[in-house]
Structure 1
Amino acid sequence: MVSFRAASAEAMAALTDKLGGVAEASAAKVADDLFAAARTLRSEGALRRFVTDQSVAAPARAGLVGDVFAGKVDPAAAELLSAAVAARWTRSRDLPDALEQLGVVAAVRSVGAQAETLVDELFGVRQLVKQNSDLRNALSDPARSAADKSALLDTLLGGKVLPATVQLVRQSLSGSYRTVTAALEAYERTAADVHGESVATVHVARPLDERAQQRLNTALSRQYGRSVHLNVVVDPAVIGGIRVEIGHDVIDGTVSSRLDDARRKIAG
């Protein structure tokens, strides 16, 4: 997830509260509109600088945005855009970043009680891209059009995952993050965070049974003071033990890690 500072953090908090009033039924359309607005503001530097210029009266900034997006966005999205350009931003580029983040939150809210499924599916797609170099290269190839990449995704995911998963995977192609997998990882964390959870990626040599997953989930939830969604990666290189990545923390109790430590001590 994008981190905001000072005025931008306050603006983002206020907009997130405002987004909470958007109906679930219209959230997917609002997400698409916010993503489109973020793309426009990133590509149109003059427009972005004007609507974040505090020397320009807020009504003038809102009026221009209203003219640019008139008839093109859902009324709820239009209200959010007006509120966004009326706010104060620490950096001009924070505005499109915030709109994208709000779009992700709207997409998450569009699935209602299926948020756990959404997190699982985003993780599954991220692992698929990470492990398949041909797919990864195709999605990052600047010579391929956005339409071509979207068609490829439709072939892979169409009818197999939630519409919100497809929506967010398409958004991951926008280039606002360093890579597609980095975008998907950020979207996973946002999807979990919307529902009061953290995401832990667990690396093991063999699949964990349900009881083991429950014990680990309980221990991590107690340690971090909130529910934790587990993404389990089976990796033979682990050999034995377990490695947990949650936020910026890494808990490494793997055999491979202990072997590496032993090798370093011997070499030193």
Structure 2
Amino acid sequence: MQGSSRAAAVGSREALTGALAATADRSRLAEELFAVVGALDSNPTLRRALADPSREGADKASLAEQLLAGKVSAETLVVLKGVVGQRWSTERDLSDTLESYGVETVIAAAEAADRADRVEDELFHFERIVAANEQLRGALGDQTVAAEHRAALVDSLLQDKVAPETLALARQAVVAPRGRRFDRTVAGFLDTASARREQQTATVTSAVPLTEDDRNRLAVELASIYGGKVHLNTVVDPRVLGGVKIEIGDEVIDGTIMRKIDAARRAMGA
């Protein structure tokens, strides 16, 4: 985001915070925010009107209220007015921020139910499953197939197997990719979750599944190194043979046996 959009995102956050505090039905709030994003994406005229930097913020907020009062909850309207009342560098920055607030609202619902870690784990692993299955990846990403059919496919795969918040985010990523690949959309959702929870995320690859004790110990060690909470996304890959590979931010700590074998081969000129 450019400077004015960064300031707009900061300025609009109070509206989201207030809406989350005011409503117990965060699922509805998230659904409505996602629906508003869809409406803006499909209606360029409306999007330009609400993002127009030459119009007064109060004027744009009034327009939003005229259009949506009685059609969405009071909390959703508060968030929307708080967002459109700011000055955005681009129209996309406005809709991206609304989408991120929808994701945050889903995560807030998971936090209230004490399953935010579970949601992050499930969403990460679903993306990995999709990435490894070319047929499934194609089916979920086929924009010529109606959105409701793609949503139904997600339901058939995840219904009653994951947390409701995981299902909501997986459906949203498939139904409204907004020009992005599924993996990029999910990565963005997970980044939003990490930012909301004020944590860093580490992807840990090992030859065998880590035990819960291993996960907890590694999370504590990484937190002591990087500061703050660290959430682990784990990947099992027998090809690494042993040890672990850790990716956190832009850093990679590769302590796998395969890496050591590769290093030995290079040293021998193989």
TM-score of the superposed pair, with normalisation by structure 1: 0.90
1:1-268 alignment, distance < 5 Å: 4-21=1-18, 22-23=20-21, 25-111=24-110, 112=112, 113-173=114-174, 174-176=176-178, 178-264=180-266
Q: Distance in 2 between matches of 1:191 and 1:54?
A: 29
- The residue identity in structure 2 corresponding to 1:121 is E
SS in 2 for 1:93: helix
Give, in angstroms, the shift of residue 167 of structure 1: 1.1
Q: Distance in 1 between matches of 2:57 and 2:11?
A: 16
**Distance in 1 (alpha carbons) for counterparts of 2:106 and 2:266:** 46
Q: Structure 2 CA distance, aligned partners of 1:262 and 1:92?
A: 52
TM-score, normalised to structure 2's length?
A: 0.90
How many angstroms does 1:265 deviate by?
A: 5.3
Unaligned runs of 5+ in 2: none
Aligned residues: 265
Q: What is the rounded CA distance, in whole Å, between the counterparts of 1:142 and 1:14 in structure 2?
A: 35
Cα 1:140–1:175 change in 2 (3 A) is same
Asked if structure 2 preserves the Cα contact closer than 8 Å seen for 1:19 and 1:102, the reply is yes
Could you say what secondary structure the match of 1:49 adopts?
helix
Percent of matched pairs sharing the same residue: 37
Question: Which sections of structure 1, spanning at least 5 residues, go unmatched?
Answer: none
1:8 partner letter:
S
SS at match of 1:110: helix
Instruction: Tell me how far apart the structure 1 counterparts of residues 24 and 179 of structure 2 sit (CA, whole Å).
Output: 28
Query: How far has the Cα of 1:262 moved from its partner?
Result: 4.4
Task: Tell me the distance in 2 between the aligned counterparts of 1:27 and 1:210.
Answer: 30
Contact 2:15/2:78, CA 8 A, preserved across alignment: no
Task: Please list the CA deviations of residues 162-190 of structure 1 after superposition, one character each: whole Å capped at 9, or x if unmatched.
Answer: 22111111111212262212222222232
CA-based RMSD of the aligned residues comes to 2.0
Q: How far 1:35 moved relative to its partner?
A: 1.0
